[in-house]
Every structure is written in C-alpha cells, then in structure tokens.
A and B are shown apart, each in its own frame.
Chain A
Amino acid sequence: MNVDVAIIGSGPAGLAASIELAESGLSVVILDEYYRPGGRLLGQRYEDPKAPETEREWDGMKLALELVEQARKRQVEIRCGVTVWSVSPGWKIELGGADEKTVHAKAVLLATGAAERALPMPGWTLPGVVSVGAAQTFTNLHHVAIGKSVMVVGVDPLAISVALEMKHAGVNVVGVAMAPRSPMTEKLSSPSHALSQLAKAADLAPNPLLRLMGRLAGGRLGKMAVHALRWPLLQIEGIPVDIRKAVARIEGEESVEAVILQSVSANGVPTGREERVEVDAVCLSAGLYPLIELAQVAGCSLVQVPELGGVVPLYGSDLSTTADGLYVAGNITGIEGAKVAMAQGKLAAVSIAQAMGKSPTLPKEEAIQAVKRARALSPIRFLPDVEQGLAKMERLWREAWLSKEGDEAWRM
C-alpha cells in the first residue's frame, strides 16, 4: 500500500492528525494494534458533580467515537489489529498481524502514546494483580470489575483517578497505599515525595479531576506536604488513601487473596507494624512513560527528559524530529492528558501538510498556540514540571541544529 501519510496509533493524537491531514488533501492510513480505534481515550471517564456544568464530565469513549466518525467521513483508512514493528526511512512501515505486510508513505507520524511502568514487588505476578491502566480499561470500557475488593498501590493522579472511577462503578475499593521501598521505587515509595507531587499537580490544573483531589484533603494537600505528613490518612470520596502505609507484599495461592500493609516513615522506610487485608485484586501504579521504540527503530535522535516522562524523541516546536519526514504527537512527546494529545496531533498534521506543499486549515503558529491553550485547560496533569521539560527540549533542539551545521552526520 502507498499513502501520503501513515499514522501509527489511533489515540486522540493520531485521530486528530488524520482529520487535519485529510482536510488538506492528503491520503492517510492509521495503523493500530488494538482491536478498535481510540487509544487510551476509550477507557477515560470521570465525573465531578460539583464542577461547573460544562466541565462536569469527561467521556473519552464518546470523544473517540466522534473523532473516528470524522476521520472516516474524510476517507481516512483506519486499520486495527495490526502491530507496527519497524519504521525505516523512505518510509517503509512493516506490520505484524496483517495480510499486507508493508505500507509505504511519504511521511510518518508516530502517535504511539504511553505505557505503564512496571512495579515489581513480592507477589505481583499472581493472577488478580493488574496495572492501574488495566483496571481503568476493564471498568470503564468493558464494564467488568477487576475484583470484589480492590487495593490500589501507588499514590499518584492516575491511581487516585482510577480508584474513584472504580468506586463510582460500584467496585469496593478498600484503599490506596504506597508502593514498598526497593531499589526500583525509591521516589515512588516516599510519602513526602508522593504528596508533594500530588499537591503540585492539583495546584497546577484547576480542573474537574484534580479539583476533586485538591478537595480530597479539604484543601490541605499542599500544607500536608509541607508539614511532614501530620495527617497520614486522606479520604477521597470515602476511599482511604493511606500515605503512611505501603503494601509490602501480595499473598495468595492461585490468585490474589490478601495484601500485607506495613507502616512507613515519611520517606518510605518500613517501621515494622504489619497488617493483613483480604482482597481479591490489586492495581499497581508506577507512572507512565512515552512509548518510543518505533522512534528508536526509525533512527531519530532520542533525549532523556525526566520532566516529560523519560526518554523521548528530540523534536522541534512543530513536532518534526531529526529524521526527515518523521513526526511525533501525543504521549510519545511527553506524558500529558488527551486534550493536549489532540492539539498536538493537529499541529503535527499542519507541519506535515506544509512540508508536503499543501495548505493546512490553520497557520502553524495558531496550531502551536492551541497546544498551549489545551495544556492550560487540561483536565488532568500527570507530571508537574512539563513546562520545564518543554523548555529543555527547545534548548536541546536548538543545540542539535547548531551542531548539525558543522556536522552533517548528526543522527544518534
């Protein structure tokens, strides 16, 4: 198959990009390995009954269906159930799980999103232990409870959001507790760190979800972090969030039967007391990281920017990369909410259309501004220091171009 643009990933970034690209007259195919389009939008659903009417609800599924419809109306081809395992300059895209094994395109947009970091701990391979994202998908998309009694491990915006979503769906969430201390979880297992990140996130995004979290402690969140955790137990809509207890291990024969909770100090050191809580499911949350494998295979430069979630492709303000004709949008550029992903998808599409001699539906500068607006209005914020991360990216991009002038072979 030959197309103008191949998009990998049918999440909000890929879908929004496809619509804009088709509008400017380019042929587009979207490739996605999941069995239906929409990416992580499909499982996103939260409500804040106390928010202003227009912000009360975030219904990702509805949004995904709308975007898919708009894309299809514009002749965008969406192929699901195909895994892209290689992208090479030229551009050649190689597929698994499909009859047709290759797609040729003039430009490629990587919109592969994010994955969850693993949280290894004793007992974590038992059936019934899932990632918090799996719990979100099962609850909101498939309407299947992850358990009758569920413990959430990891205190961060996504974990708390999913705990609430489960509770609203009628699942008994017995609590949210810290990850146990291990060489892999140093920061994750520190109550002080978790709390300050949470407070920062809640302060920065005055939005339905985080407003909820800000309220969770009656506005005490920031103060709590400062006052060295004098209030160890928060209640979020009735769910106990115990930041001074960690789940030390998960127990069970054939599947999860219980978790062992252990008290910890303000920086996560176990202080001895253990208690056993019977549950049949455990959700682990260790944060998200950009899914960059294909960028690596494609040969564009990668950089380490912890403020954006880890290793990300080096990209410019128009979302181009160091590989000619290769663009990125959405969570592959840094971990943010779906609104930002959509605006980035549109921006990448504008850049691609322009590079291919087409006239996009809006000027690039406007698309750049729209990403900033989306960021300011985002209903969720995962990483508190995204702005610093973006500033760093700008600097690295500039430096790369400066050094390129003297050295043509600059690809990593």
Chain B
Amino acid sequence: MAANFRLPVAESSEKREQIAFTFNGQQVMGYEGEPIAVALWACGIKTIRSCGATAQPRGVYCGIGHCYECRAQVDGVANVRTCMTPLSRGTSVSSSSDWHIEGA
C-alpha cells in the first residue's frame, strides 16, 4: 500500500519493529502494541466496515472507544473496537457489519 500517514517522530528511545497482520485477508504492516485502527489508518485504510443498514463505508470517528464506529472482527471475535485494541503479530482483522453490544 503506497499511502503513508506516519508523522516524523523526534528521536525516540523506543525502537519499534514493524510486524505483519491481515485486514480482510490482505497483509498489512504496523507497530506492535498500537491500536489496530491506527495501524490501518497509517497505511491509508480508513474504511473498516460497512454500515449494516445502508452499506455505506465506516471508519474511526472518536478514536477513544466511545462511538463504536470502528468495530471489526478481530481474531474471530466480533464487534471489537479497533481504536483501542492493541495490535499483535499475525492479528487477523476483518470487516463486520452485524451489531450487538460488546461484552453483553
């Protein structure tokens, strides 16, 4: 993916390594431990799912867990808020459009 939204960071002590994960079956790279939605956004993927009712594309809105717009299926678990779920190596993320309340 050509797009890159990473900002230059002033010399930081933490050296981070990019790891691979998948989004809808496609391989993407991101930093371990950063929220999944951030890793996706950084390489230009802003659409995380489509709205169940209207099929319109949806993605991050609030970025901190309040709006549930960024939900996806993560390693088989449905309706995970990707803006606050840390990425790990090999995480499998896929768009989901069904809706029930997480944790209920």
Interface residues of A (CB under 8 A from B): 33-35, 40, 81, 83, 85, 96-97, 115-116, 118, 125-131, 133-135, 137-139, 142-148, 169-171, 254-255
Contacts and interface: CB of A to CB of B under 8 A. Distances in A.
Q: Say whether chain A's binding surface is mostly helix, strand, loop, or mixed.
A: loop
Interface in B39-68: 41-42, 46-48, 51, 56-67
A116 B66 CA distance: 9
B85 interface: yes
A254 B50 CA distance: 11
Nearest to A140: B7
B7 A170 contact: yes
A93 to B, nearest CB: 13
27 contacts: A34-B64, A35-B35, A35-B84, A81-B84, A96-B104, A125-B58, A126-B57, A127-B48, A127-B57, A129-B61, A130-B62, A130-B63, A131-B63, A133-B62, A133-B64, A134-B62, A137-B64, A138-B63, A142-B38, A144-B6, A144-B42, A145-B5, A145-B7, A146-B5, A146-B41, A148-B5, A255-B59
Given A134-B62, A170-B8, A254-B47, 5 more contacts: A125-B69, A127-B60, A129-B61, A130-B61, A134-B60
B102 interface: yes
Contact of B57 (A35, A147, A254): A254
Contacts of B60: 127, 130, 134
Contacts of A133: 62-64
B66 A115 contact: yes
Report whether over half of chain B's contact residues are helix, strand or loop; otherwise say mixed.
loop
B9 A143 contact: yes
A255 B47 contact: yes
A142 B86 CA distance: 12
Interface in B52-102: 56-67, 69, 83-86, 102
A144 B41 contact: yes
A10 to B, nearest CB: 13
A35 B60 CA distance: 16
B103 interface: yes
Given A33-B84, A142-B34, A144-B42, A137 B6 contact: no
Contact of B46 (A35, A127, A135, A142): A127
Interface residues of B, number: 34
Contact of B84 (A34, A127, A254): A34
B66 to A, nearest CB: 5
Given A131-B62, A170-B8, A255-B46, A96 B102 contact: yes
Contacts of A129: 61
Contacts of A130: 60-63
B21 to A, nearest CB: 16
B65 A34 contact: yes
A125 B70 CA distance: 11
A37 to B, nearest CB: 12
Contacts of B41: 138, 144, 146
Contacts of A171: 7
B6 A134 contact: no
A134 B7 contact: no
Q: In the complex, which of the residues A85, A129, A138 has the most CB atoms of chain B within 10 Å of its own CB atom?
A: A138
Contacts of A134: 60-64, 83
Contacts of A146: 5, 41
Nearest to B51: A125
Nearest to B47: A127
A145 B3 CA distance: 11
A81 B33 CA distance: 13
A266 to B, nearest CB: 31
B7 A83 contact: no
A143 B16 CA distance: 13
A116 B5 CA distance: 24
A171 B5 CA distance: 10
